[in-house]
Amino acid sequence: MSDQPPIRSYGRLKARPIKPRQAALMDALLPALRLPEGPVETAGREAWLEVGFGGGEHLAAQAAKHPDVLLLGAEPFQNGVASALRHIDEQGLSNVRIEDGDARAMLARLPDAGVDRVFILFPDPWPKLRHHKRRLIQAETVAELARVLRPGGRLRFASDWADYVDWTLERLTASPDFRWTAERADDWRRPPSDHVTTRYEEKRLGDCPPAFLDFVRI
């Protein structure tokens, strides 16, 4: 990555007061789950990364379904982190680690080929042309995702904004490191069998039905 800090890709860091129980988890549980500074260790274990996990429903559900996998989640929105901690606590999950900040800072600390799967689900669409530079999917992020994913690893991107779907397809298919796995329209029009519906997805705020793009790291 360049030495410049990346352009901010997220909106507010906190929207409303965090409920007392979640605030207590921010104090008691987050320090135990927060990734330490410095290189992120994934050796010897399958590791999946979710970028921008929002309220953490997908992160927690995947962690519960795959107890042997290490789930790394990054999210700068404090209310989202607090909500994810509630899910982790309620489900007694021990295989989740959290970066309560920009995923790109965490990506930079991951080893080459250290991750098996990456999920980017309904990222902020930044639909205005002058805000496109804020989108998470940029050439630099694609290069970082290629670096951290092991060959054969998979990346899933989902969005309900048609222009962002096209934007991502354009950038990922232009990359020599990724191959789009879809063979028929239903492969991207229907949620994949292992998908867990997210809170943002349910809101249907975009301008098209949700599209699911699965890529394999060549």
Ligand X SMILES: C[S@@+](CC[C@H](N)C(=O)[O-])C[C@H]1O[C@@H](n2cnc3c(N)ncnc32)[C@H](O)[C@@H]1O
Query: Would you tell me which residues interact with ligand X (CB under 6 A)?
Result: 9-10, 51-54, 74-77, 80, 102-104, 121-124, 136, 198-201
Point out which residues pair with 115 in neighbouring strands.
149
Q: Alpha-carbon distance 179 to 154, whole Å?
A: 10
Q: Alpha-carbon distance 196 to 65, whole Å?
A: 11
The residue among 19 and 179 lying less far from ligand X, judged by its C-beta, is 19
The residue among 116 and 144 lying less far from ligand X, judged by its C-beta, is 144
Min separation Cβ 119 and ligand X, Å: 8
Min separation Cβ 84 and ligand X, Å: 10
Active site residue 124: yes
Q: Alpha-carbon distance 63 to 71, whole Å?
A: 6
Min separation Cβ 201 and ligand X, Å: 5
The residue among 14 and 45 lying less far from ligand X, judged by its C-beta, is 14
User: Count of alpha carbons within 13 Å of 14, Cβ hemisphere only?
Assistant: 8
Q: Alpha-carbon distance 89 to 60, whole Å?
A: 10
Q: Alpha-carbon distance 52 to 59, whole Å?
A: 10
Catalytic one among 89, 124, 163, 187? 124
The residue among 54 and 114 lying less far from ligand X, judged by its C-beta, is 54
Min separation Cβ 94 and ligand X, Å: 22
Catalytic (active-site) positions: 124
